[in-house]
């Protein structure tokens, strides 16, 4: 196998056969091809795409590059959810324990931040002591005993995707439907799931800004997954504004703790979380229909059972035993905060959501290079939603930064991201449509 020949053929728009794709993935996994060759292949796919059979072959090759878990000994279904990435999207932190509280088992293998979007794994790493990359034995014990575990890819789960993922992040090749499809599904198929639910974002803060592109991505993932034997459905959700009222790592963990304990719940975040929970319960055959599934999920949240499970999961994976009671005691806090103020009386009419995500990366809450460390404390909180009525000088957000210069840059970025109007704008439901099933 000559990697440059495979790159050339895809560059020229040819269809690759499964054997060549598998050979390239095996070389990527073993390290026998360079980062430049992987990047060139990603760029060729970005511009020329892949047919369904090519995407299936890429997905299966990356799945087979490592271990495949077996959850057949669980007393209930192994189900999971994946988001295509957004800003202020901390749904996984609440969704996993809600589903577990309803009888599902959620072995959630999550990723780090990609481009301007936050990563679930980076959020969990903000919790002191939390082991986000345990060995498989501990992972299995926690899933069995608690009902859910949110972890990252271990070295033995889809290792080819792990390398590919980090290279795509820094080579402007993230927004490719077949590469996103293969990346998501290689991890989920290696996790040995019975069912999968997708949260596919659409809007100016999503990788797929246009709804038609998000639909195409959802249909691609659902089609490839079901072709591989995994029951999969998708919800399209709105990402024309941050989902949570904060963006960052520790700040989003705090939002999740408040949500689960009932201290504070934003309606948009609750709508998306419970809709995805209902999909998981129906797909896992834990509820007969979506109405009953929604009732079951809402009860798990409001009863406090989901909060109790999240706390147990954190403790079982090395985190503090009393995080739910004392999150401020444990989560890191940035030394400098700056208010961002509304310029005049009016309504928030639109938000450049991608700009918010880029601002968090610039503060240190994301990566420019794969090896860059994350500053878990920095971020943006108290983000006002579209439709909020603001007085002149009233804060529309709060920037949490490591230095005065970073804080000033963050304030400028948020000012540029918010637009205002004299009339209240029309707002949309955060759940746009369903694909698959």
CA distance 396 to 205: 18
* Pairing of the two strands 389-390 and 346-351: antiparallel
From residue 251, give the alpha-carbon distance in Å to each of 110, 166, 237, 309, 432: 18, 24, 22, 20, 27
CA distance 404 to 394: 21
Quick one: which of 272, 268, 407 has its CA closest to 334?
A: 407
CB 87 within 8 A of CB 205: yes
User: So which residues are the catalytic ones?
Assistant: 80-83, 120, 168, 183, 187-188
**Total Cβ atoms within 10 A of residue 16:** 22
From residue 349, give the alpha-carbon distance in Å to each of 130, 153, 388: 39, 39, 8
Coil vs helix vs strand at 42: helix
Beta bridge mates, 201: 237
CA distance 262 to 300: 12
CB 116 within 8 A of CB 366: yes
Quick one: which of 15, 70, 9, 32 has its CA closest to 160?
A: 32
CB 46 within 8 A of CB 173: yes
Beta bridge mates, 339: 398
Residue 48, class by beta-carbon neighbours within 10 Å (0-12 exposed, 13-18 middle, 19+ buried)?
middle
* Pairing of the two strands 431-436 and 231-238: antiparallel
CA distance 54 to 60: 10
Beta bridge mates, 435: 234
Coil vs helix vs strand at 136: helix
Coil vs helix vs strand at 428: coil
CB 178 within 8 A of CB 50: yes
CA distance 376 to 122: 8
Maximum Cα interatomic distance, the chain, rounded to a whole number of Å: 64
């Amino acid at each position: 196998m000559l990697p440059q020949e495979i790159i050339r053929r895809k560059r020229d728009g040819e269809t690759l056969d499964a054997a060549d794709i598998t050979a390239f993935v095996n070389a990527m996994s073993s390290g026998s091809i360079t980062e430049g060759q992987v990047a060139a292949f990603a760029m060729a796919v970005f511009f020329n795409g892949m047919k369904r059979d090519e995407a299936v072959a890429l997905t299966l090759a990356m799945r087979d590059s490592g271990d495949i878990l077996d959850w057949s000994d669980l007393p209930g279904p192994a189900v999971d959810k994946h988001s295509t990435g957004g800003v202020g999207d901390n749904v996984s932190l609440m969704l996993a324990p809600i589903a577990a509280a309803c009888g599902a088992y959620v072995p959630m293998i999550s990723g780090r931040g990609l481009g301007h979007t936050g990563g679930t794994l980076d959020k969990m790493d903000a919790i002191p002591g939390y082991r986000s990359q345990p060995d498989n034995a501990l992972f299995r014990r926690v899933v069995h005993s608690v009902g859910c575990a949110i972890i990252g890819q271990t070295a033995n789960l889809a290792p080819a995707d792990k390398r590919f993922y980090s290279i795509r992040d820094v080579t402007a090749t993230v927004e490719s439907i077949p590469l996103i499809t293969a990346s998501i599904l290689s991890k989920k198929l290696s996790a040995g799931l019975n069912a999968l639910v997708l949260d596919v974002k659409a809007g100016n803060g999503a990788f797929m800004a246009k709804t038609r592109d998000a639909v195409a991505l959802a249909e691609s993932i659902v089609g490839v997954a079901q072709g591989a034997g995994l029951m999969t459905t998708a919800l399209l959700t709105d990402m024309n504004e941050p989902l949570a009222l904060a963006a960052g790592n520790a700040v989003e963990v705090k939002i999740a703790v408040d949500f689960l304990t009932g201290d504070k719940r934003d309606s948009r975040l609750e709508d998306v979380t419970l809709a995805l929970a209902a999909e998981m319960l129906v797909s896992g055959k834990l509820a007969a229909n979506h109405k009953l599934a929604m009732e079951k999920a809402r009860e798990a949240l409001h009863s406090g059972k989901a909060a109790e499970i999240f706390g147990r999961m954190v403790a079982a994976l090395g985190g503090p035993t009393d995080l739910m009671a004392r999150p401020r005691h444990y989560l890191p806090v940035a030394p400098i905060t700056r208010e961002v103020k509304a310029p005049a009386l009016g309504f928030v009419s639109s938000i450049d959501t991608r700009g918010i995500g880029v601002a968090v990366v610039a503060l240190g809450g994301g990566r420019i290079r794969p090896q860059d460390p994350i500053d878990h404390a920095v971020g943006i909180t108290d983000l006002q939603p579209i439709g909020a009525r603001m007085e002149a000088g009233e804060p529309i957000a709060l920037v949490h930064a490591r230095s005065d210069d970073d804080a000033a840059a963050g304030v400028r970025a948020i000012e540029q991201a918010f637009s205002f109007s004299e009339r209240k704008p029309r707002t949309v439901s955060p759940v746009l449509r369903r694909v698959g099933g």
